[in-house]
A and B are shown apart, each in its own frame.
Chain A
Amino acid sequence: MSSCFILALSAVLLPLMVLFGLKSGIIENLLAPLENDPRFREIRPVGSGRFDPEWFEAMAERNDVAFIVPRTRSIAATLRLRAGGEDARRIIQAELIPTAPGDPVLPGIDAPSDSSHVVVSLNVAEKLGLAPGDKIEGIVSRTYKHERETELLPLTVNGVASAAAFARDGIFVSHELMVDVEDFRDGHAVPELGWDGDREDRGARRFAGFRLYAQTLDDVAGLRKALLARAIDVRTQQGDIDLVRALDRNLGYVFWIIAAIAILGYGISFGSSVWANIDRKRYEFGVLRLIGFRTHAIVWFPILQAILTGILGWSIAAAAYFGVEVGLNALLAETIGNGQPVCRLRPLHFFIALSITLVVAGLAAALGGTRLARLEPSLALREG
């Protein structure tokens, strides 16, 4: 078997692999922030509504919903915070953000499950010098029956959320605390926390809003449509998603056109090489025929040879590709890849490359094999 033939195959296959590596890496870099950043899957209500617990239960059961928690009225969803008790030098006003286990913006952080634990935003942590495990105090005030009332709430910091999770001053709190603060602000008593107020039954609770995250980027549009159909106006990042999706699609078209031409050229090049190789060895095949090799043995010979050549050529191309990938990523990852690899192939891509190689090799060799099947044994005598 000609080593030149194997190298020629590698030389054709390698640029194709690099081309696909670049396509794959660049598109993945574009899509990764969208796929990984839950903010792109967030669906925010515009204005206030009146959502009952049954509505939340129904939404939570949908397959396209990853996370949903009720939100109370914005005006009632704030808390002043201080660290260090009455000697605290600084008090800040923080927004309350309802959370629950599985909150997509708090990966790796225990979501508060009661009224005594919170997760603080990075801003709050920096302003108050907080770390997980620290104790702080929440201060909640209201004007009740023409008198100003203030309650203190001891809180433990479960964790610090990233700036991407919430960029302003805020704390992630349990549903209970959210409701307790709203009740207190509305003049109601909160017996669990020892806060006094009106004790009459306030009826079925309804919430002003929600925090909702779709399961995947593809689910955002459907959820938005479903909510709009129920007259719930929402805001999403659909524009950004569509933009990158369109870029992905268009870049994909360009790459596939280039790749289709390259694969066609590769097929013709490889096929003609296999054909030429068979033609070059007609005499040897004639000798084999003369000696007594049967038709199927003669036909299988170039097919197996072509497949072996394909495997070896693919192996060399794959090995060389790894070298090129390392070089390209070292050169370009920082400049155009935002630190991420710009050239990347998955095992599936290598498998596809091998499959195409073997199919082309097999087809070309089979065509050559049919020629060999008609080879006369006398050829060896005539040309010998």
Chain B
Amino acid sequence: MLLKPTRSGRFGFQPVTEDEPYDIDAAWNSANADLLSELRSRHIGYVLQSGGLLPYLTVRENISLSRRLLHLETKEAADYWADRLNISAQLDKLPQKLSVGQRQRVAIARALAHEPTVVIADEPTASVDPVNAERIMELMVRLADDIGVTLIVASHAHELMQRVGLRMIEHEVDLGEGDSMHVTVSDVAS
């Protein structure tokens, strides 16, 4: 069971979700795509390797996407997160006008804007240079910590993840036929 923790409108925005328990196993087993979609939209934020921004939407629209889906206020939230991620000047630009680092910041803003329970980041620093990678990770960890979001990061940059305070979790995945693979999962204590 994944329970949405109660929040008290930290930034003056409407609470994202109500306190409803979700039976993830049941949703997964029933292959109820719409229920899983709702679950993702309410409780999970994603940061993809290349940002995963929609190229025909502006930065503001990209950031607002997750909140719009939940019928939440968007303008103030977009301004707030753009300010926190230092991309306010880019709000009305299309993603193609941004640097790779800026795109990742927009992706982080989108992932956090609806204050999800969990943010899953898949190689969020793979496309940027080491200096930017450090900055982006520090920022993401700080913001996640600020709003009490669990951050799950898949990354090859083990040292960087440890430097920014993420806890490493290693486990073995059974690939069948005698093969196995070691996977390290990092998270930050919320």
Contact = CB atoms under 8 A, between A and B. Distances in A.
Interface of A: 1, 284, 287-295, 377, 380-381, 384
B38 A384 contact: no
A294 B48 contact: no
Given A284-B55, A384-B122, A291 B50 contact: no
A232 to B, nearest CB: 76
Contacts of A293: 37, 41, 69
Nearest to B49: A384
Interface of B: 33-34, 36-42, 44, 46, 48-50, 52-56, 65-66, 69, 110, 122
B40 A377 contact: yes
Contact of B54 (A1, A287, A377, A381): A287
Contacts of A289: 37
B50 A384 contact: yes
B38 A292 contact: yes
Nearest to B33: A295
Report, nearest first, the 8 A-B pairs whose CB atoms are least far apart. Answer: A292-B41, A384-B48, A292-B40, A287-B52, A294-B37, A292-B37, A294-B34, A384-B52
A384 B52 CA distance: 6
B137 to A, nearest CB: 18
A290 B40 contact: yes
The prevalent SS among residues of A at the interface is helix
A290 B55 contact: no
Among B37, B46, B50, B65, the most chain A Cβ lie within 10 Å of the Cβ of B37
Contacts of A377: 36-37, 40
Given A284-B54, A384-B49, A384-B50, A292 B69 contact: yes
A359 B66 CA distance: 32
30 contacts: A1-B56, A284-B54, A287-B48, A287-B52, A291-B40, A291-B46, A291-B65, A292-B37, A292-B38, A292-B40, A292-B42, A292-B44, A292-B66, A292-B69, A293-B37, A293-B41, A293-B69, A295-B33, A295-B34, A295-B37, A377-B36, A377-B40, A380-B46, A380-B48, A381-B46, A381-B48, A381-B122, A384-B48, A384-B50, A384-B122
B9 to A, nearest CB: 21
B179 to A, nearest CB: 20
The prevalent SS among residues of B at the interface is helix
A381 B41 CA distance: 15
Contacts of A284: 54-55
Given A284-B54, A384-B122, A290 B46 contact: yes
Among A288, A289, A292, A377, the most chain B Cβ lie within 10 Å of the Cβ of A292
B52 A290 contact: yes
A288 B122 CA distance: 16
Contacts of B55: 284
Nearest to B48: A384
Nearest to B66: A291
A290 B36 CA distance: 10
Contact of A294 (B38, B50, B122): B38
A294 B70 CA distance: 12
A377 B66 CA distance: 15
Contacts of B34: 294-295
Contacts of B56: 1
Contacts of B50: 384
Contacts of A290: 40, 46, 52
A293 B34 CA distance: 8
Contacts of B69: 291-293
B60 to A, nearest CB: 16
A85 B122 CA distance: 112
Given A287-B53, A292-B37, 11 more contacts: A284-B54, A291-B46, A292-B38, A292-B40, A292-B42, A292-B44, A295-B37, A377-B40, A380-B52, A384-B48, A384-B49
Contacts of B52: 287, 290, 380, 384
Nearest to A382: B122
A295 B41 CA distance: 13
B39 to A, nearest CB: 8
Contacts of B122: 381, 384
Nearest to B122: A381
A190 B24 CA distance: 110
A381 B52 CA distance: 9
Contacts of B65: 291
A291 B33 contact: no
A11 to B, nearest CB: 23
Contacts of A380: 46, 48, 52
A138 to B, nearest CB: 85
Nearest to B41: A292
Given A381-B122, A384-B122, A291 B41 contact: yes
A279 B36 CA distance: 24
A115 to B, nearest CB: 83
Nearest to B70: A292
Among B34, B46, B56, B66, the most chain A Cβ lie within 10 Å of the Cβ of B46
Nearest to A377: B40
Given A294-B38, A295-B37, A381-B122, A288 B66 contact: no
